[in-house]
Structure 1
Amino acid sequence: MKILCLHGFRTSGNFLQKQISKWDPSIFSQFDLDFPDGVFPARGKSEIEGIFPPPYFEWFQFDKDFTEYTNLEECISYLCEYITTRGPFDGFLGFSQGATLSALLLGYQAQGKVLKDHPPFKLFVSVSGSKFRDPSICDVAYKDTIKVKSVHFIGAKDWLKEPSEDLATAFDSPLIIRHPQGHTVPRLDEAATEQLRAWATEILSYNNKILNGENHELENGETKVDDEEKKPEEVSNKIDTTQVQQDGIGIELKREVEVVKA
């Protein structure tokens, strides 16, 4: 299965690849991960300067209230072309601006606005993602529950904690993994690692059954579950904060201005 991985604001595909390298590599060993760079070169200082080498990129620009966007349509067109020519893709993995953009594309596809000829996406890994705030976008992208298997990493000290919580509500039966850190891709303790591994393994199992013609439980990206099972799952990820703070790659991008702190 192929996953499109979208990096955060003013970083790069290589940086996101480095960020998730702190997770057990066996979790996504059977997935093909693609890490493109953003459409536009960074138009300002990157918070990872001195931590990770340039160049740095951004997907689009925005105002301080995150309600007006510049070059968003150009970005969407670029990614749709990328997905069409390099895909098909089965899902997304994104951090911050990349996760926010991924969720938008998932919602837009579900509403028939983009990628009409591309197979429905099946999965989404969101780290510090959020919703767009422009009502004209929200009324389309989040109009209906997005029926894609999703996992959402939410940090207790993340200034996007509440927006990340809100984004998770846009998805059907989201798996929520909490951690005590801030705006970063967290290290995972044993419990969180096993939770993520089980989630990924289930998706691979369903996909293999579909390919073998055994069942169709992931038609249109939706896994059929009983009504009583449709509740968000949560796991608390208790990690060594001292070790993470010493890890340059685990830097909290506290001054990142993707959205106004909720």
Structure 2
Amino acid sequence: MENQIQKKPRILCLHGFRTSAEILKKLVLRWPETVLDKLDLNFLDAPYPARGKSDVEGIFDPPYHEWFQANEDFTKYTNFEECLAYIEDYMIENGPFDGFLGFSQGAILCAALPGMQLHGVGLTKLPKIKFLILVSGAKFGGSKFGLPKLAANAFASPIDCPSLHFIGETDFLKEEGIALLGSFVEPVVIHHPRGHTVPKLDEKSMETMLEFIERIQKVTSHE
């Protein structure tokens, strides 16, 4: 029983556009040990090699990957269905996982997963997603990103899945991140002064994060 209560939430971490699992890992591992010790983090590379220049060239080493592709105004998507199948296969082979952590393109994808799962169009062979941690997220069907066909109903009803959202003061996706909050039931928010990145945690945000982890530990250990 003791072990069950202390079970670390197992999290699949999805990196940003044209970056990599290794890059996201470097950013997340800057968080304090008090947070990291409570989580079982698994970092996955997206299935497709970057099809163009990466914004992190010269900062982080390649190779760079992307989860799916879109046209310039984000109205048409390709490889979206294949991307979901890739994630699902990985989770079946390496799971079980309790929830997701996503950054940027990874967070946009993660935000839509509970709704797609609910409507039976994504991750259908897996148990229900128990929580999300979204850093620099946005919403498919919002002002910037169109809806992939499979995600057409992802936000049709409020998403009743514990969610923690990081919103950066100078992030170019800030407005999108704020708009995304409206799709979730009781979202928890950490505001930070940085831009489009995984921020380090100050005392206040660490407290918020630890409270959220405590909440998801209860959800994951009642099985």
TM-score (norm 2): 0.89
Equivalent residue in structure 1 for 2:91, among 83, 88, 91? 83
AA aligned opposite 1:180: P
Gaps of 5+ in 1: 212-262
State which drifts further: 95-104 or 27-36: 27-36
For 2:100, the equivalent position in structure 1 comes to 92
Please say if 1:61 is aligned against 2:69: yes
For 1:170, the equivalent position in structure 2 comes to 183
Equivalent residue in structure 2 for 1:45, among 53, 78, 83? 53
Q: Look up the SS of the partner of 1:124 in the other structure.
A: strand
Q: Which consecutive aligned stretches of 4+ in structure 1 deviate over 6 angstroms post-superposition?
A: none
Please say if 1:116 is aligned against 2:124: yes
- 1:168 deviates by 1.7
Structure 2 CA distance for aligned equivalents of residues 141 and 24 of structure 1:
33
AA aligned opposite 1:82: Y
Gaps of 5+ in 2: 1-8
Measured on the aligned residues, the alpha-carbon RMSD in Å equals 1.5
Structure 1 CA distance for aligned equivalents of residues 188 and 217 of structure 2:
16
Structure 2 CA distance for aligned equivalents of residues 201 and 156 of structure 1:
26
TM-score (norm 1): 0.76
Structure 2 CA distance for aligned equivalents of residues 180 and 146 of structure 1:
27
Structure 2 CA distance for aligned equivalents of residues 207 and 75 of structure 1:
26
Equivalent residue in structure 2 for 1:131, among 136, 139, 148? 139
Please say if 1:105 is aligned against 2:113: yes
AA aligned opposite 1:167: L
Structure 2 CA distance for aligned equivalents of residues 103 and 146 of structure 1:
9
Seen in structure 2, the aligned counterparts of structure 1 residues 83 and 139 have a Cα distance that, compared at 3 Å, is: same
Equivalent residue in structure 1 for 2:192, among 179, 183, 189? 179
Q: Look up the SS of the partner of 1:35 in the other structure.
A: strand
